[in-house]
Amino acid sequence: MGRDVDRTAFSREDRVRYRQKVRRCLDVFALMLDDFGFDADRPMTGLEIELNLMDPAAEPAMRNEEILAAIADPLFQTELGQFNLELNANPRLISGGGFADYERDLSGSLSRANEWAARSDTRIVLVGILPTLNERHLVADNLSTNERYRVLNDQIVGARGEDIELDIRGVERLRTYTDSIAPEAACTSLQFHLQVAPDSFADYWNASQAIAAAQVAVGANSPFLYGRQLWAETRIALFEQATDTRPDELKAQGVRPRVWFGERWITSIFDLFEENVRYFPPLLPICESEDPVEVLHAGGVPELAELRLHNGTVYRWNRPVYDIMDGRPHLRVENRVLPAGPTVVDMLANAAFYFGLARGLAEADRPIWSQLTFSSAEENFHAAARRGMDAVLHWPRLGEVPVTTLVLDVLLPIAAAGLDGFGVSPAERDRLLGIIEQRCRIGRNGAVWQTATVWAAERHRSLDRRAALHYMLQRYAELQGTNEPVHTWPID
């Protein structure tokens, strides 16, 4: 939910009017899908990276407003916590040297931003969860000052009607309560956008759901929260719980959570927007003046603002997006499963793996979703988040298989063929997918490096957990600056 809001309270009439407007938008969207000209000739890609700010003591730095003002670059925006920023890469094609272009632009933007941040004794860190965060950091007072975050917090907490419980059982266990959504700010993600045609959207979304587990397993980078070692990708559990509007009674009744893997394969993008309207009450019932029916009948492109705002408050791991660029509407899959980091080149390797694999499976003669049950895809996803590189997944014709074997023997060749379909240069294809291959052969991603480094610091340097986490994060930030992939990082 990236738009600004100018309301802090909503009436019953606001909610009734908004619900009616959302349903009107949904009807118009259905008409558009039947015969409207969506932009899909040259499918663009996009990347969003959520960033952490760290002070010289490896503590979170609550300075995003100050640093944003200094950077003065529209590609950087606020995020939920005062120790967060977001970097939006300019959309582009990945054919030819598109990935190399991404790498130059992202590296340049981060380098310039770090120069400005250094003047405030701050450093930008790309990591799924900042390992030194604790409960005193994740409080409502440390939400960003943008009013939209305060309003969203009030609406989520108000909908729940009680404090939010966090109960994550991993290598260790964390159980605590929070009176705000501030813990969500700990979850810093890497998001991929893939533009698709309406008639192929379902294939790409289904493929994205099927491969989410493999993505998380090889890309996990969030093993610590509040000083405890939890899941390989603790971000998944934390985000699901920190924005849960349901008290226990509604959970027992089977009410859907707002952070949602989903419950079925789809046949159209309309299925997802219709589920949003049918299952989820509005959090931000803000109506615009546009009548989408009148705009459509006049030959214009409806904004569908209410439908898009509602969609932005349902946090699917693969989210459907309707957007307008240069006067033409288009559709995107927004892939939200991965954490930020460890380096720019690691993130682009994750991007190549996702884009290639999504295309390879979406265009396969026999769809993977005709062979894999949706419940198995969801179970795979949470198993991968818990165990990372050690996960065992269920896969058609293979049964239970270690994720590293699945990636090496099955998924990487499909991803390579998919990148060929996009016209990615063979050198870039092999360079980036080679990073995924080496992670699997060595058994080291960001989560493995973090936990191994903390373990070594505790045993060989006689540091307690808090000191070991601070040592590890300082070392992590140094190695991140080299842009060498994480599987090559030493553990010392």
Q: Does this model's pTM top 0.85? A: yes
Residue 213 lies in a domain: yes
What is the span of the domain harbouring residue 187? 36-261+317-488
Q: Is the Cβ–Cβ distance between 39 and 330 less than 8 Å?
A: yes
Residue-level pLDDT at 5: 55
Residue 287 lies in a domain: no
Pairwise CA distance, residues 360 & 491, whole Å: 35
Contacts of 35 (CB under 8 A, 6+ apart): none
Query: Which residue in 166, 162, 184 sits closest to 176, CA to CA?
Result: 166
Q: Is the four-CA dihedral 159, 165, 167, 168 of positive or negative sign? A: positive
Pairwise CA distance, residues 338 & 46, whole Å: 14
Residue 8 lies in a domain: no
Query: Which residue in 264, 168, 423 sits closest to 256, CA to CA?
Result: 264
Residue 180 lies in a domain: yes
Residue 304 lies in a domain: no
Pairwise CA distance, residues 128 & 338, whole Å: 8
Pairwise CA distance, residues 344 & 105, whole Å: 10
Cα-trace Rg, the chain: 22
Question: 267-305: per-residue pLDDT in tens?
Answer: 999 999 999 999 999 888 899 999 999 999 999 999 999
SS3 329: strand
Residue 432 lies in a domain: yes
Instruction: Read off the CATH number of the domain in which 442 is found.
Output: 3.30.590.20
Structural domain count of the chain: 1
Strands (E) in 149-276, as ranges, are 164-169, 173-178, 189-196, 224-225, 228-229, 259-260
Instruction: Report the b/e string of 110-126 with b at 16+ CB within 10 A.
Output: beebbebbeeeebbbbb
Burial of 461 (0-12, 13-18, 19+ CB in 10 A): exposed
Q: Is the Cβ–Cβ distance between 224 and 187 less than 8 Å?
A: no
One digit per residue, the tens of pLDDT, for the chain of length 492 reads 445 555 567 888 888 999 999 999 999 999 999 888 888 888 899 999 999 999 999 999 999 999 999 999 999 999 999 999 999 999 999 999 999 999 999 999 999 999 999 999 999 999 999 999 999 999 999 999 888 888 888 888 888 888 999 999 999 999 999 999 999 999 999 999 999 999 999 999 999 999 999 999 999 999 999 999 999 999 999 999 998 889 889 999 999 999 999 999 999 999 999 999 999 998 888 999 999 999 999 999 999 999 999 999 999 999 999 999 988 999 999 999 999 999 999 999 999 999 999 999 999 999 999 999 999 999 999 999 999 999 999 999 999 999 999 999 999 999 999 999 999 999 999 999 999 999 999 999 999 999 999 999 999 999 999 999 999 999 999 999 999 999 999 998
Residue 155 lies in a domain: yes
Pairwise CA distance, residues 92 & 114, whole Å: 24
Query: Which pair of tokens denotes residue 288?
Result: 């615009």
Pairwise CA distance, residues 261 & 421, whole Å: 28
Residue-level pLDDT at 94: 97
CA 76: distance to chain centroid? 17
SS3 86: strand
Question: 57-109: per-residue pLDDT in tens?
Answer: 999 999 999 999 999 999 999 999 999 999 999 999 999 999 999 999 999 99
Q: Is the Cβ–Cβ distance between 227 and 465 less than 8 Å?
A: yes
Residue-level pLDDT at 1: 43
What are residue 229's DSSP bridge partners? 224
Q: Is the Cβ–Cβ distance between 46 and 91 less than 8 Å?
A: yes
Residue 54 lies in a domain: yes
DSSP per residue over 245-303, as a string? ---HHHHHTTPPPSEE--SS--SSHHHHHHHHHHH---SS----S--HHHHHHTT----
Pairwise CA distance, residues 30 & 36, whole Å: 10
